[in-house]
Structure 1
Amino acid sequence: MRDYPNLRHIRLIAAAVRLGALSRAAEAVGISQPAASQALAKLEATFGGRLLERSKSGALATARGRVVVRRAQRALSVLKAGQGKLARFAKHHAGGVDLAEAQVGMVHLRALSAFADAGSFSAAARRLGLTEPSVHRAARELEAILGVALFTGPSRHLILSPAGRVFARHANLVMAELDAAFDEVRELAGAYDGRLVVGTLPLVRTQIVPAAVVALAARRPEATIEVVDGPYDTLIQDLANGRIDMLVGALREDVPASELTQEVLFQDDLAIVARAGHPLAGRARITSDDLARYPWLLPRPETPSRLVFERLAANFPPDRPLAGVIETGSLVALRGILMMSDRLTILSRRQILYEEKAGFLIVLPVRLSEAARPIGLTLRADWQPTALQADFLAELRSAVAEEGNG
């Protein structure tokens, strides 16, 4: 578990650079000059080197200090934005959200974040390596500071309230900014040993993301790279909450533009896929009646490929209703079921690249209407990548370009 710096110390160094003097920063933050000097020393030990150069003309940030201050300012901005979003919940609570900013500490944010991830105070305490009473106390202190209920339900089955979910997201994003500060000061020293977490949707898992990961690992061998998959709704929440750095896959129209941004990498066409040796294999013309004769293996409802299927199925003969549909979001299960049955499905050809080359699966000669879909990156709208993260984005775009030229 990372030892995050004290938030008051983060406020101090940001104020020192803004005001040009540590003494003025100490007064602004509300601590003594000796305490400010001790706080700066602790910060410099935490980040592995000098952060400020002090002279008669004032305090100037070193290169390392500029990195820390930039991320500190972003972290404090995220925290302030989180406070602002609690205003709509304040009418239910007498305390309101008139928060004295200096009261919120990292211990409070870590407690709330751990509860949000683990689902209980006991599990949060194990995750943080602390006692359950101390985590419970920190979370309840935060609730008192904010003046808004962060938890709801009976004491043995507490869950986050709507306000708790909002502020937990901002707590995670504060820590993500501080994580980036640690990584960037290491990068400044030439050490690219940070961590990258990439969320992936089915289409890009076969070739594009693996190619980018292999290229980045060769370029930055000390980096830790985690590739995660899962349902779109889960991954998009993980992205918004700062648990993953980016999401790569099919783009959606309903992404909240104020929080997330999308970048198209390429357009992909869907096709009808079957096993090699399927009764429809080798036929030059396949009709809607032909397609309706066979059972289907379908992606989850509301996914882009499922919507393409629904448009296709609208043309099936009315006397042939669909029956025995199998749904799965697992590409591994889908491939296995296809190869062992006469079921049909809708997939991108990119997703069966190896199976088609090996002669296990085939694409049927059927043109699908409105089957093109944009594939790309989904990022947090105000995200600023570290050098390692920027390197991966460059490798990802290069992998897309190479595949398009291949």
Structure 2
Amino acid sequence: MIDRSEGASWARSIKVRHLESFLVLDEAGTLTEAAARLHMTQSAMSHWLAELERVAGTPLVVRGRKVQLTPAGHLLRRLALTVLGDVARTGREMHAVAAGRVPRLNVGSVWAGIAGGLPEAVAAFQQRHADVAVSIHDGPFDNLLKGLETRAMDAVIGVLDARAHQPQLAHQVLFDDRVSIVIGQGSRHWGSNRVLDFADVLREKWVMPPVGTLTRIQMDAYLIEQQASWLVPKAETASLAMMQALLQKGDYVGACSESMADYMASLGLFKKVAVDSNIRFGPITVVWNREHASATLMDFVACLKAHARGVPGVPVQAPPGA
């Protein structure tokens, strides 16, 4: 068992005022200036510093014309910044709670949601709620949905299916998405001026999402329709970053949501391959737990709807289930 008695005893002796005063001393550079800023006499300031060094059990500064922090002093300074930062942040969050606001939103999203307006929605939301932090988590829709049960997530963005129709959940459709076939700068077709079609890339090396994912299911159905069920991908990955790297470095063809394909194309990283029929991905929706909905969350949902697929300023009705 780890003996925590020594560390706990030291921690109990350190007061917030110790940490605040130590940062003032470090910033002021001299005991005289620090004493003036803290409205103390220099004698009282010296006594306070001696007390703090006694608690720490080691010198914290080297006294001279200007005080300099010892190695232990630098450690205490780091502690002071961390603790006082946490105190200030918690104070702001408690003030927000007291005023009936939520201090933080945890939002999970699949790639399509991130490419389909989530960054714009966060920016617009925080113009109206500057004191609310938004934590974004990406990953498979099924994993993110579990966070709604544990309250690890306040809202999740993914493809609307039976999982979003559970009794305790509410949802708002944001936009309808499709699957796109794309190439990157590593493709031998990248410099071509003509529009590429499916036949041009059919026999290339393919990168696809793993079996069982929605994009892969839709792509497999399309390949059957095109009598190309024989096509076996050379690489499989659930990571957009890995797919992007492969398309940039090698002669590959990939498949992803159209919202992500459009976003990457706008950055000059992907080019879309023309297909003769739509490969449906499904409606992208935001899901939340009815029992845990707050006014702050509903404002965020409204921003998501207004900025879906990068179309800001669309009038939004109150989401169902709010």
- In the alignment, structure 1 segments of 5+ residues that lack a partner are 1-181
| Correspondence 1:210 to 2:119 | yes
Which residue is equivalent to 1:134? none
Judged with a 3 Å threshold, the aligned counterparts in structure 2 of structure 1 residues 405 and 336 are, in CA distance, closer, same or farther, namely farther
1:297, distance to aligned residue in structure 2 (A): 0.9
Which residue is equivalent to 1:328? 237
**Higher RCO (CA < 8 A, seq sep 6+):** 2
Judged with a 3 Å threshold, the aligned counterparts in structure 2 of structure 1 residues 229 and 338 are, in CA distance, closer, same or farther, namely same
Contact 1:270 1:368 in 2 (8 A): no
Which residue is equivalent to 1:312? 222
Distance in 2 (CA, whole Å) between partners of 1:387 and 1:261 is 14
Instruction: Tell me which amino acid in the other structure corresponds to 2:299.
Output: D
Picking from 299, 306, 318, the partner of 1:398 is: 306
1:342, distance to aligned residue in structure 2 (A): 2.0
Q: TM-score, normalised by structure 1?
A: 0.48
Q: Percent identity?
A: 24
Distance in 1 (CA, whole Å) between partners of 2:152 and 2:173 is 22
Which residue is equivalent to 2:99? 187
Q: Deviations over 1:132-178 (max 9, x none)?
A: xxxxxxxxxxxxxxxxxxxxxxxxxxxxxxxxxxxxxxxxxxxxxxx
Alignment of 1:64-75 (within 5 A): none
Instruction: Tell me which amino acid in the other structure corresponds to 1:187.
Output: A
Which residue is equivalent to 1:226? 135
Q: TM-score, normalised by structure 2?
A: 0.59
| Correspondence 1:301 to 2:178 | no
- In the alignment, structure 2 segments of 5+ residues that lack a partner are 1-93, 315-322
Distance in 2 (CA, whole Å) between partners of 1:185 and 1:358 is 40
Which residue is equivalent to 2:3? none
Which residue is equivalent to 1:365? 274
Picking from 172, 177, 191, the partner of 1:263 is: 172
Q: Deviations over 1:329-350 (max 9, x none)?
A: 2212211111112211222332
Alignment of 1:2-401 (within 5 A): 186-188=98-100, 192=101, 194-206=103-115, 208-255=117-164, 257-276=166-185, 278-280=187-189, 281-284=192-195, 286-288=197-199, 290-315=200-225, 321-323=230-232, 325-380=234-289, 382-400=290-308
Judged with a 3 Å threshold, the aligned counterparts in structure 2 of structure 1 residues 404 and 266 are, in CA distance, closer, same or farther, namely farther
Distance in 1 (CA, whole Å) between partners of 2:198 and 2:301 is 42
1:282, distance to aligned residue in structure 2 (A): 4.2
RMSD: 3.0
Judged with a 3 Å threshold, the aligned counterparts in structure 2 of structure 1 residues 342 and 317 are, in CA distance, closer, same or farther, namely farther
Aligned length: 219
Distance in 1 (CA, whole Å) between partners of 2:249 and 2:203 is 17
Instruction: Tell me which amino acid in the other structure corresponds to 1:302.
Output: G
Which protein has the larger Cα radius of gyration, Structure 1 or Structure 2? 2
1:239, distance to aligned residue in structure 2 (A): 1.5
Q: Deviations over 1:215-263 (max 9, x none)?
A: 2222222212211112222111112222101111222234453243332
Judged with a 3 Å threshold, the aligned counterparts in structure 2 of structure 1 residues 242 and 308 are, in CA distance, closer, same or farther, namely same
Distance in 2 (CA, whole Å) between partners of 1:194 and 1:353 is 33
Instruction: Tell me which amino acid in the other structure corresponds to 2:235.
Output: I
